[in-house]
Structure 1
Amino acid sequence: MPQPKSRKIAVLGYRSVGKSSLTIQFVEGQFVDSYDPTIENTFTKMITINGQEYHLQLVDTAGQDEYSIFPQTYSIDINGYILVYSVTSNKSFEVVQVIHEKLLDMVGKVKVPIMLVGNKNDLHMERVISCEDGKALAESWNAAFMESSAKENQTAVEVFRRMILEAEKMDGSVQPGKTSCAVM
């Protein structure tokens, strides 16, 4: 088996959209019901994708708003960004767009591995952002898109799996549907 690859992913978004819930659901397999604002946490987890082992470092960031200064540390050694909004909050959808702008300004790359996640899709009655709106925004960014529910653990693992694949694709390490071979 090849050496494990280390990947660092930052999870960004407005406050109380479920960044920590999504991360903890992925790392520990449990849903944390109480809301305790995050300052910043880092989690680690090993995951195997397509026979390649990855040592993930997940930076669960403090909730940001449109006035937050984008911390410089979020642009160093980060392999991918998961931008989370809540499908029940217009404000979080607006803020995630501001965060995306700041991210591109800070990172300076035109194409950064980004995944947009509409969280809390289990709250059907409170939904204000349609799946189509989320998809359209992600497409305009050239980013991957998914909806999830950290509470119902519908897609927590898949969110991080897809993020790794997006980062690898951009890295040039993984070509969808292609296998690599080397002649020595």
Structure 2
Amino acid sequence: MPPKQRRIALMGYRSVGKSSLTIQYVENQFVDSYDPTIENTFQKTIKIRGQDYSLQLVDTAGQDEYSVLPQSYFMNIDGYVLVYSVNSAKSLDVIKYVYDKILDMKGNTQVPVILVGNKSDLRMEREISVEEGKKIADSWKCPFLEASAKENQSVQDVFTQILMTVERIENHVGQEKSSCILS
């Protein structure tokens, strides 16, 4: 059986660790230096629950609440990893804005999204509690994780979780469509 192709976009405020999460996942290394990303795409093939997936991870440029989000961030994207930094309240405000923009552009309430609080290793600098992140994810009806690209904590889980979310929503939508009866 050929691998399922999946395009996943990582979005969030600048310097929240989107690139660090992606590089840690794809290359098993932590990149400490920060060069602002314009846009980068990474490839990885994985197997989850017996299914092979060919992933294209779109590491987007950092967004802010005034960003014009390129149309390419909404075309042919299967799921979104929305990343904020636990030591930046501003990054959480920006991710709420990005989430609203995704819903506006997709015109669909069932968008595969997960919320990720990155930099959980910065315990002394924390501005956003686990409970606050979880509360927002619950209001969006999406999974929530905290991760640390630096300590490679929950990084694998982030990408497994978004793939499972894409599959769950796709299969649920497919079931709804197949039971539709027009009279």
TM-score bucket (shorter structure): over 0.9
- Give the distance between the partners of 1:106 and 1:65, measured in 2 at CA: 17
Query: Is this contact kept in 2: 1:117–1:148, CA < 8 A?
Result: yes
In structure 2, what residue type is equivalent to 1:36?
D
Structure 1 stretches of 4+ moved >6 Å: none
- Give the distance between the partners of 1:107 and 1:129, measured in 2 at CA: 28
- Give the distance between the partners of 2:114 and 2:62, measured in 1 at CA: 17
Deviations 1:60-108 (A, max 9, x none): 0000000001211111111100000000000001000000011111111
Q: How far has the Cα of 1:113 moved from its partner?
A: 0.4
The answer to whether residue 87 in structure 2 is matched with residue 51 in structure 1 is: no
- Give the distance between the partners of 2:89 and 2:74, measured in 1 at CA: 26
- Give the distance between the partners of 2:165 and 2:122, measured in 1 at CA: 28
- Which residue number in structure 2 is paired with residue 158 of structure 1? 157
The answer to whether residue 138 in structure 2 is matched with residue 139 in structure 1 is: yes
Note the 1:1-184 alignment, pairs <5 A: 2-172=1-171
Query: Is this contact kept in 2: 1:10–1:60, CA < 8 A?
Result: yes
Query: Is this contact kept in 2: 1:70–1:103, CA < 8 A?
Result: no
TM-score for the superposition, normalised by structure 1: 0.92
Q: How far has the Cα of 1:157 moved from its partner?
A: 1.0
Query: Is this contact kept in 2: 1:16–1:37, CA < 8 A?
Result: yes
Q: How far has the Cα of 1:3 moved from its partner?
A: 1.8
Partner-residue secondary structure (3-state), 1:166 = helix
Structure 1 unaligned segments of length 5 or more: list them: 174-184
Q: How far has the Cα of 1:133 moved from its partner?
A: 0.3
- Which residue number in structure 1 is paired with residue 179 of structure 2? none
Q: How far has the Cα of 1:126 moved from its partner?
A: 0.1
Please state which structure has a larger fraction of its residues in helix. 2
- Give the distance between the partners of 1:139 and 1:34, measured in 2 at CA: 33
Partner-residue secondary structure (3-state), 1:172 = helix
In structure 1, what residue type is equivalent to 2:62?
G
Structure 2 unaligned segments of length 5 or more: list them: 173-183
TM-score for the superposition, normalised by structure 2: 0.93
Query: Is this contact kept in 2: 1:70–1:106, CA < 8 A?
Result: no
- Give the distance between the partners of 1:142 and 1:74, measured in 2 at CA: 21
Query: Is this contact kept in 2: 1:41–1:61, CA < 8 A?
Result: yes
Partner-residue secondary structure (3-state), 1:170 = helix
RMSD: 0.8
- Give the distance between the partners of 1:137 and 1:160, measured in 2 at CA: 20
- Give the distance between the partners of 1:114 and 1:168, measured in 2 at CA: 12
- Give the distance between the partners of 1:130 and 1:85, measured in 2 at CA: 12
- Give the distance between the partners of 2:56 and 2:47, measured in 1 at CA: 14
